[in-house]
Structure 1
Amino acid sequence: MKEGHQVPQRDNFFEDIYSRAANKITPFFLNFTPNQVTILSGFFGMIGSFLLIFDNYLTLFSAAILIQLFSILDLVDGNIARIKNLQSKFGMWLDIFFDKLVDLLIIFIAPLGVYLSNGDPNILIWGIVLMGSVFFNQLIMILNNTKNYFEFSRGSGSKFTKIIEGKNSKLNFFFKFIYFFRKHLTYQHNTFLFLISFFAIIDEIPFGIYFLTLHSLISLLLSIIINFIKIGKD
């Protein structure tokens, strides 16, 4: 990466891993425009999402690989935009469009594929709950981004950092757990894509849907708790 065009710091564990992978392959895509890479990554993501409907291990494995390619190339386009100074509002919109579209397709198609395979309608209910909790999570993230979504987890002067560093706080352990979970394990785009790919590779999509639904609900609950703490401290 050229000096002066460094990628943003990735605080989340999964984001950091994908960012490192994207940095390695970015030089191979420098002849492309950022939007071309975004469209290519979106194509991989959509095809991978549609393959989740089939109850076949080879197909599910292929879906996982394509979704992972989408995840990595989704960061490569930003690298190229920074290197070539080609940032644009349209490019940002296109990137967000494919991110949310692939999320939507995965959440819709994965439960549908399980239902078509075993005929259990309960998995469709779990899929609806997953979709609702995921997009509610994203709404809260968007609202918090108007200030700083990670206000509590960045900088020694942040309110949340002061809370978890309080030596006499009886809730010290609880806040540290929330801090760690939110920073590294909470539902985020790359975390979701990694987990759905993992469950596809081990051929456990039904269990994956249950896990992702509970994971998303826990993330949502912690987000709500932290926001109440933030409001109470403002």
Structure 2
Amino acid sequence: MASSRREFVARAAAVGGMLSLPSGIWRPTPRPASKPLRVLFLGGTGFIGPHMVRHAMYRGHQITLFNLLLGILSGVIAAFGGYPNLLAAGILFQLVSIVDGCDGEVAKLNKQATKFGAWFDTVGDNLSFVVFITGVTFGLYQETHAAWILNLAKLSLFSFAILLSIMISYLIQQKGASASLVTYEKEVVSAKAKKQNPIVAKLVFYGKFLVKKDFFAFLFFSLAVVDLPQAIVFFAALGTSAVAVVLSVITFNGYRARKALAAKSVATEEAPGVSH
């Protein structure tokens, strides 16, 4: 049934296209659709086909910029306060999370993935978070004038700055092709957490799923729907603080381990030879 509908839509579009052109202009030029298009558009009939996708394939950076502007807009709207604005901001922030994966995938499909694009995406994602939380805080404070709201927001932004500086410092030191924070999560957090004490290891294992953008964007959206901006600020502060503490512990333990290894290496080199 689904296949029949796709065939009907594709044929109807083809007939409509031929009828809309002057006689003698149309020529059949069959072109096999690429695999991504076959999956995305009507099973590969090419109905939506060439023009929109050809333009989209060269616009990875534009998608990133569009997503960043959406994130900034969500924070600006939230700053006005009130339920309608909070709801609109929550919807936009959820949309940012949905669109977030498109820029990288477009670049990969077009084989134009660059380190600049990865850094642009990383900066845009995190700036969207900062602006959204700042906007929600400002809007809520305008209504309540509660000092604890500002204190939670300060804690959230301070913790976020710490964890972001740890991650970005690692990526810069690696000097690799990747500028994605996912690289840090895989190479450092998941790998080194297993070597920490059991409590830290469990916190990392279960906590890393709770701080992924897909999760907290949906959480913030859900809290916006039920008009709980206080909960958005609270969970933002809780999540960023917990991650900052865990990453700080992992980084400090890693530093101690490297220092101990270096001291052991120096001691071994300076030790006198043992005669037999």
Q: How far off is 1:103 after superposition?
A: 2.0
* In the alignment, structure 1 residue 201 sits paired with structure 2 residue 237: no
Match of 2:126 among 90, 95, 100: 100
Superposition map of 1:1-234 within 5 A: 30=53, 31-32=55-56, 33-145=59-171, 146-147=173-174, 149=184, 150-152=186-188, 154=190, 158=191, 160-161=193-194, 163=195, 171-172=197-198, 174-185=199-210, 187-234=211-258
Change (3 A) 1:107 1:230: same
Q: Is the 8 A contact 2:193 2:201 kept in 1?
A: no
Q: Which runs of 5+ in 1 are unaligned?
A: 4-27, 165-170
- Give the aligned length: 199
The residue type paired with residue 228 of structure 1 is F
Q: Which gives a bigger RCO, structure 1 or 2 (Cα 8 Å, sep 6+)?
A: 1
User: For residues 100 and 159 of structure 1, what CA distance do their matches in structure 2 show?
Assistant: 24
Deviations 1:144-198 (A, max 9, x none): 33456333555xxx5543x37xxxxxx54x244133134323x455454333323
Deviations 1:18-56 (A, max 9, x none): xxxxxxxxxx97331112222222222222221212433
Letter in 1 for 2:229: I
List runs of 5+ in structure 2 lacking aligned partners: 1-33, 37-50, 175-182, 259-276
Return the index of the structure with the highest Cα Rg: 2
Query: With structure 2 as the length reference, what TM-score do the two structures score?
Result: 0.62
Relative to structure 1, the CA distance from residue 152 to residue 92 in structure 2 (aligned partners, 3 Å threshold; closer, same or farther) is: closer
After TM superposition, the structure 1 stretch with the greater mean CA deviation from structure 2, 63-72 or 120-129, is 120-129
**Separation of aligned partners in 2, 1:215 and 1:160:** 18
Q: 1:179 to 1:95 in 2, by over 3 A?
A: closer
Deviation readout 1:207-233 (Å, 9 max, x if unpaired): 221222122111111111122232333
Per the TM alignment, residue 77 of structure 1 is displaced from its structure 2 partner at its CA by 0.7
- Report the RMSD for the aligned CA atoms in angstroms: 2.9
- Give 3-state SS (helix, strand or coil) of 1:129's partner: helix
Give the whole-Å Cα distance in 1 for the aligned partners of 2:125 and 2:160: 13
* Percent of aligned pairs sharing the same letter: 25
